[in-house]
Amino acid sequence: MGKNKSSRKGKKAWRANISTEDIEDFFDNSTKDALSGGSLAQVPSDSLFYVDKSRDLSVKRKIEKHREKVLRYDSILQSNAFVEPVPSSTGKKSKKKSKLQIAKDTAQQGQKDSSGGDSGMVDIWNDKDELVIKTKKAKTSVIPAVEVEPPGCSFNPPSESHQDALACAVADEMQKIYRNELGPEPIPLVVPGEVVNEEDMYFLEADSGSDTENENLVEDGKTDLDKRPQKPKMLTQVEKNRRARRKEQLKAEAEATKAAQLSKEIDSLPDIIQEIEREEGEKQKRHLRRVTAIKEKLKSCPPRLGKRKFVPAPAQVLLSEEITGSLRKLKGCCTLARDRFKSLEKRGLVVPSKKSSRK
């Protein structure tokens, strides 16, 4: 085995190979700190950072002075109470304003108009500096929220009232039956008939084509006979003069008839006025009847809200065999949720919907 080679340099040469970069960096940083006034790492934070609370009063005064300046045409417009001046020094504001801002603007404008002259503006601010805003009243339904059924629908009704309620229920059902029977028949989806073969279709088309050709020939022959050229008849001077006199005579008669009709209408002016008043009275009566009919209709059914009409629930009347006279033996025929939903539909608070069938 060979011997390990040792460094040719001795211990005296080790000092020449030591790096002095960190020492040089330290001296450079200390020199910079001495020239700049000290090291920043040793300075406290209060001396490095501070809050600037000073104000530039000169710029603020210039802006306020520019805003307070009133141009000549603005001063002329301000003196006139009927002309609203357009401020030129105000900046652009957003187009959307709140209700409170609009109310304040109208109040300030009203004060300006009242100081300059009389105007129709009304101060909407009362003595307590409260804003008065008009609110729209909600439309209340004429139909009550909870309707009381007739006494014949009770669990132990009297005989007469029970018979009346049964008669009303039977009448409603019969109206539905008559409406279905006497109503118009629906359009059938399939038309009954036989399928025509292609050969039969060819013969049918040929027969129809020959018939149309014969009809066209006959019509052409008739038209040829009717459209023969006729020789124009020569008019003599006497005939021309007679026609001119006849034309003037008809014109004079038409003017005389028109004048007589106008004088007759002038003489019958009081009758025309009475007729107009009578028509106006009839029109008002028709309008009143229409309004009354609409109000009466709203008492029984709601206005049309959607594509489906309101269908009232059938009357809950017990049959004679079902009357037991005891509330414990009463059968439940209608749930409270269904009754409340029908009430909402009848008052026009909910759009009528189609009854969903449970599978």
324-359 pLDDT, tens per residue?
877 777 766 667 888 888 888 888 888 888 776 665
Tell me the backbone φ, ψ of residue 317, rounded to 5 degrees.
-110, 135
Predicted pLDDT of residue 117: 47
51-106 pLDDT, tens per residue?
777 776 777 777 887 777 777 877 777 776 666 655 555 545 555 555 556 766 76
Predicted pLDDT of residue 7: 54
Predicted pLDDT of residue 119: 46
Tell me the backbone φ, ψ of residue 131, rounded to 5 degrees.
-80, 130
Burial class (CB in 10 A: 0-12, 13-18, 19+), 301: middle
Predicted pLDDT of residue 11: 67
Structure tokens, 71:
């141009």
Structure tokens, 331:
């059968």
Give the residue ranges of the chain where pLDDT is below 70.
1-17, 56, 80-101, 103-104, 106-139, 206-229, 331-334, 356-359
Predicted pLDDT of residue 267: 87
